[in-house]
Amino acid sequence: MQIPTAYDDKVVLITGGLGFIGSNLAMRLASSSSAEIRIVDSMHPRCGGNPKNLEGIARPVRIDIYDLRQIPALCEAVSGADVIFHLAGHVSHTDSMRDPLEDLGGNAAASISLLESCRLSNPRARIVYSSTRQFYGRPQRLPVDELHPILPLDINGVNKYAAELYHHIYHQVHGIETCSLRLTNTYGPRQLIRNASQGFVGWFFHQILCDEDIVLFGDGKQIRDLNYVDCVVDAMLLAGVHPKSPGKTYNLGSGEPITLLDLAELMISIAGKGRYRFAPFPEIRHKIDIGSYYSSFSRIREELGWSPQVSLRDGILRTLDFFERHRSTY
């Protein structure tokens, strides 16, 4: 399947399109297809939305700034859309524990508003939802596949899982073509790295670039897998047009699980600078830490033909190069 040309002449809506993954998706679509691109973003200060993320985009796109819970405005945005990439949402686990109601609104309420808008104005649209591996909780087995029990440890995991279930229900009951991708530690250009709200990987880049210590909680032996953002965009574009994806849930993964200690040492080696130190877990982080995790992505590989094409080392090189050139922006 030729993914870029599959979007020619389609209308594509990206929620959260000024954020990290959404802007990379918009840039890819603008450069490789003739799709009409619409973006809705709330520009929440901790969610990474930044108009500079679209600097240099191949052609103009429509951008609207408002909260997704404004259903009348959203009904107009979804009208006529062929594919909707629903990337808007809150991702910080610690923030969700500090302000659970805001996380509820930004994830669960925003998602059901989008789905209702489609039911009312465009039930033929296909929706690809950026879900998360976080709600699996502490793994009972590795690698984690889609049949693993759901036992979230924080509010963000509960709300993201509720949003995923809303997509499933609207597919089953209303016939809307929905697909959920459970992402795991996405990193790369255009990620907000000035604070840790968008995950530890971006924060590691920040600490290296700012000549600060990478802080490893505990012994640093927790295992994670990471996906470079271009690989995630590949998966989303596949899910947006593949005939097998409606009604499905897929894990993404890397095939390169690595301990946080080894990751810090690899990043420092590639950057040629940096250092790390160990520290005890803060109480709240310890309570919601999932331990070691890495995914099985065999379902999406077998059904859609996706697998990551950028190695961890290459992805780190590309990301460091981008942030060295754009450090003041992120």
Predicted local distance difference test score (pLDDT) of residue 181: 98
Q: Say how far apart CA 280 and CA 276 lie, in whole Å.
A: 14
Provide CB contacts within 8 A for 191, sequence distance 6+: 20, 48, 198, 202, 205, 229, 319, 330
At CA 188, angle to CA 186 and CA 192, rounded to 5?
A: 85
> pLDDT digits over 230-278, tens only?
999 999 999 999 999 999 999 999 999 999 999 999 999 999 999 999 9
Quick check: 189 and 322 in contact, CB under 8 A? yes
Q: Say how far apart CA 41 and CA 25 lie, in whole Å.
A: 14
Domains and CATH numbers, the chain: 3-187+226-253+295-309 (3.40.50.720)
Predicted local distance difference test score (pLDDT) of residue 44: 86
Quick check: 90 and 47 in contact, CB under 8 A? yes
Give whole-number Cα distances, 127 to 78, 101, 130, 191, in Å.
Answer: 10, 25, 10, 23
Q: Say how far apart CA 75 and CA 66 lie, in whole Å.
A: 13
CB atoms within 10 A of CB 71: 15
Predicted local distance difference test score (pLDDT) of residue 288: 83
Predicted local distance difference test score (pLDDT) of residue 4: 64
For the purposes of burial, counting CB atoms within 10 Å of the CB of 149, is it exposed (0-12), middle (13-18) or buried (19 or more)? exposed
Instruction: Identify the bridge partners of residue 132 per DSSP, sorted by sequence position.
Output: 183
Predicted local distance difference test score (pLDDT) of residue 45: 78
Quick check: 122 and 99 in contact, CB under 8 A? no
Predicted local distance difference test score (pLDDT) of residue 170: 98
> pLDDT digits over 316-328, tens only?
999 999 999 987 8
Query: What is the mean pLDDT, run by run of 10 residues, along the chain of 330 residues?
Result: 80 97 97 96 87 94 95 96 97 91 96 98 98 95 98 95 98 98 97 86 94 94 97 98 97 97 97 95 83 97 97 98 88
Peptide bond into 143 cis (omega under 30): yes
Max CA separation in the chain (angstroms): 54
